Amino acid sequence: MTGASQKPRAIDHRDPEPATGNDTYIVRTRIPPDIVCPSWCTTGPRQHIGELSAHDGGVVHRGDLRSLGPSSCMTIRPFAASLVDGSVDPDDPGVHLDLTRDGDGPITLDEAMAVAEELAAIVRQLTKSCP
């Protein structure tokens, strides 16, 4: 029998070859999991469920995309990884910010100060809503 035609071996608690940390399991269920999101997450449950396999069963939360600065020269979007139950992903703890600069020209010191103040306010708001 070739490797391609072998049936997957069922592994249970009576298996003489115990599972190792490198084993991969696929679990299929008809009942979708209840996804627990932080208050700032704007990703819908259906999208989270659809992305579970792409994120190895984890969840990526995304917040609103916001413009920063008087000329909206930058955008920011918070994101974080968690387990389905809302607990922190041990491989990627914390909330991250995706900060994007629009255009390639320089910004003025006044624009930079405005962006810094808005960014600080966003960080304070996220800090209050995170455990």
- Looking at the 3D structure of the chain, how many domains does it have? 1
**pLDDT for residue 18:** 55
Instruction: Answer yes or no: are the C-beta atoms of 96 and 122 closer than 8 Å.
Output: no
d(CA 126, CA 94): 11
The reply to whether 98 falls in a domain is: yes
The reply to whether 16 falls in a domain is: no
The reply to whether 5 falls in a domain is: no
d(CA 13, CA 21): 15
Range of the domain at 114: 31-129
C-alpha separations of 72 from 104, 107, 118 in Å: 13, 11, 11
Instruction: Answer yes or no: are the C-beta atoms of 10 and 26 closer than 8 Å.
Output: no
The reply to whether 12 falls in a domain is: no
The reply to whether 70 falls in a domain is: yes
Q: pLDDT tens digits for 73-110? A: 889 999 999 988 888 888 888 889 998 888 777 888 99
Q: pLDDT tens digits for 30-72? A: 788 889 898 899 999 889 989 988 888 889 999 999 988 887 7
- Element (DSSP H or E) covering residue 66: strand 66-68
The reply to whether 19 falls in a domain is: no
The reply to whether 13 falls in a domain is: no
Tell me the helices (H) and strands (E) count for the chain, helix number first. Answer: 2, 4
The reply to whether 66 falls in a domain is: yes
Q: Provide the pLDDT confidence category of residue 22 given band limits of 50, 70 and 90.
A: low
